[in-house]
Chains A and B, each alone.
Chain A
Amino acid sequence: MNSYPVIKIENLTYTFPDGHAALRGVNLTVEKGMRMAIAGKNGAGKSTLLLHIAGLLDGDGIIEVAGMRRNRKTISAIRNRIGFLFSQVEYQFIMPDVLNDVILGLSKASCAPDDKYTAAMEWLSRFGIAHHARRSPLDLSSGEMKRAALAGIMAGSPDILLLDEPLNNLDRENSEVLVNLLREQETTMLFSTHRAFMIDTLATHCAVMEDGCITTVLTRKEFKKSRVLRDLVF
């Protein structure tokens, strides 16, 4: 596997309009194929960092995604390469039923219109929710909703997957299903989490975030030994 940075962040700072400094000089490099977890206390700046990478917030500093430095000209190209799973997943559905929401994801990938139904159904089957294809995504349970959202994102074949606390509101069984589904994907991933289970089973690297800064980046071998990380996750 060629390893080159697909996300490169240098000295990223961001202050909310109310004056609270959320990011204080973040430096981070994520290479192709990495599945990097971001662990940290509530309010450490994990979600804010992910929103910056997705181009939804605009702080000071350098952000390079898929070889493109983020600016006004490149922002839509960057967004097309990214799949984002929000922590409050119900807000990311646009279409009235699950199947059409996945087809919306497919519209970003090059797929012939006639094949879209088949392709969307394949994605739903892969995520175990084909039987909910005609239901409104807002009527699904938390676990099913997460899987439906993820199917919609993955259908667009993103180069980078950003997941904001993907195991929020999920029970053990649904957490395992979701993590197993994520493990099957070859996409580069960056996800924020508080769950040790997710870091142990999915992550190849783990960045520890404190007070708006990335303090440590641990490799898989270092996870279990790291006292700092164990204090942050459960």
Chain B
Amino acid sequence: MLIVFRFAAIVLFAAAVVLQREYLYLFLPLSAVVIGAVYYFHGAPFLYVMKRNIFILSFSIVFAGFSFVSGYIDGIARLNDSVILAVKIVFVFNILLGGMRWIGGSGYLYLLNRVPGIRLRLFFLLLGNNLVRMARNNREIVRQIRSRMAVTGRNRLVLARYYFQNMLFRELYSMGHSHGAMVLRLGESLRCYEYPVRSSAADYILLFFITLHLAAGVVMQCAQ
């Protein structure tokens, strides 16, 4: 049940950040504090958070840039709105990332067991495994390419070709083996064992924070 609360809190929090349009100068810094608390209570190292934010930061800047340019073409460009859009993208990403740590492995197994149908559950399991393997393959392929050619000048142009080829072959190889494993190992059930989840002080603090935060948002909206 605790996992359901955590999950609901994360979804509501993300939705609130997306939908909130008034009092943003108060709401967004408060959201940042709550996100910081989620990271803090679940031991996310600062560098871990920063590394994962690099891509989403550049994505949000590009996205906001496009929104500004298209607004400018239509004659309704508002720099303020574009900046807020970029901030909201980063916030939602961090709510999901922090939320994953809050829900944890136990929560993942709990949610997985609630997925209807063995095939769909298997799909999510394989998707998770494949994402981990793809991240590893990516590292390996980059190292292998770097060890065999200097990544400068014209070489940069052929890099994508070698990378794509290698990634594709590895995926095909992985698919063949995973298929073999499934054929040999899968029984009639695909139910995960759920570890007992205990509530901690961090849970109460975070739930209190998020509820207060959402309540404040609702009151502000009603005050309009």
B207 at the interface (CB under 8 A from A): no
B76 at the interface (CB under 8 A from A): no
Which residue on B lies nearest to A107, using beta carbons?
B187
- Complex contacts, A13 vs chain B, CB 8 Å: none
Q: Lowest 4 A-B CB distances belong to which pairs?
A: A91-B177, A107-B187, A92-B181, A108-B187
> A76-96, CB under 8 A of B: which get 1 and which 0?
000100111010101111111
> A136-174, CB under 8 A of B: which get 1 and which 0?
101000000000000011001000000000000000000
> A56-93, CB under 8 A of B: which get 1 and which 0?
10000000000000000000000100111010101111
Could you tell me the distance between the alpha carbons of A120 and B190 in the complex, rounded to whole angstroms?
A: 15
Could you tell me the distance between the alpha carbons of A104 and B121 in the complex, rounded to whole angstroms?
A: 13
Which residue on B lies nearest to A91, using beta carbons?
B177
A197 at the interface (CB under 8 A from B): no
Could you tell me the distance between the alpha carbons of A93 and B105 in the complex, rounded to whole angstroms?
A: 17
Give the Cβ gap from A39 to chain B, nearest Cβ, in Å. 23
Which residue on B lies nearest to A158, using beta carbons?
B184
Please tell me if the beta carbons of B183 and A79 are within 8 angstroms of each other in the complex: yes
Given contacts A93-B129, A94-B129, A99 and B193 within 8 Å (CB-CB): yes
A116 at the interface (CB under 8 A from B): yes
Please tell me if the beta carbons of B180 and A56 are within 8 angstroms of each other in the complex: yes
Identify which of B183, B191, B195 contacts A55 (C-beta below 8 A): B183
Classify chain B: how many residues form its interface, as a range.
20 to 34
> B1-13, CB under 8 A of A: which get 1 and which 0?
0000000000000
A97 at the interface (CB under 8 A from B): yes
Which residue on B lies nearest to A106, using beta carbons?
B187
- Complex contacts, B112 vs chain A, CB 8 Å: 96
Which residue on A lies nearest to B177, using beta carbons?
A91
Could you tell me the distance between the alpha carbons of A100 and B185 in the complex, rounded to whole angstroms?
A: 13
Could you tell me the distance between the alpha carbons of A123 and B188 in the complex, rounded to whole angstroms?
A: 21
Please tell me if the beta carbons of A107 and B180 are within 8 angstroms of each other in the complex: no
A117 at the interface (CB under 8 A from B): yes
- Complex contacts, A136 vs chain B, CB 8 Å: 132
- Count how many pairs of residues, one from A and one from B, have CB atoms less than 8 Å apart in the complex: 84
Identify which of A84, A86, A96, A107 contacts B105 (C-beta below 8 A): A96
Which residue on B lies nearest to A102, using beta carbons?
B193
- Complex contacts, A86 vs chain B, CB 8 Å: 177, 180-181
- Complex contacts, B108 vs chain A, CB 8 Å: 96
What residues of chain B have their CB less than 8 Å away from a CB belonging to chain A?
105, 108-109, 112, 122, 125-126, 128-129, 132-133, 136, 174, 177-178, 180-193, 195
Please tell me if the beta carbons of A104 and B177 are within 8 angstroms of each other in the complex: no
Please tell me if the beta carbons of B109 and A138 are within 8 angstroms of each other in the complex: no
- Complex contacts, A91 vs chain B, CB 8 Å: 174, 177-178, 180-181
> A108-122, CB under 8 A of B: which get 1 and which 0?
100001001100100
Could you tell me the distance between the alpha carbons of A117 and B191 in the complex, rounded to whole angstroms?
A: 12
Please tell me if the beta carbons of A96 and B184 are within 8 angstroms of each other in the complex: no
Given contacts A94-B126, A95-B125, A104 and B184 within 8 Å (CB-CB): no
Given contacts A55-B183, A79-B183, A97 and B105 within 8 Å (CB-CB): yes
Given contacts A82-B184, A91-B174, A96 and B125 within 8 Å (CB-CB): yes
Please tell me if the beta carbons of B190 and A88 are within 8 angstroms of each other in the complex: no
Could you tell me the distance between the alpha carbons of A120 and B192 in the complex, rounded to whole angstroms?
A: 12
Could you tell me the distance between the alpha carbons of A51 and B193 in the complex, rounded to whole angstroms?
A: 30
11 example contacts (A-B, Cβ-Cβ < 8 A) are as follows A83-B184, A91-B180, A93-B129, A95-B125, A96-B129, A100-B192, A103-B192, A104-B185, A104-B190, A107-B187, A153-B185
Could you tell me the distance between the alpha carbons of A95 and B128 in the complex, rounded to whole angstroms?
A: 9
Which residue on A lies nearest to B182, using beta carbons?
A94
Please tell me if the beta carbons of B193 and A117 are within 8 angstroms of each other in the complex: yes
Given contacts A88-B177, A93-B181, A138 and B133 within 8 Å (CB-CB): yes
Given contacts A91-B178, A100-B192, A100-B193, A152 and B185 within 8 Å (CB-CB): yes
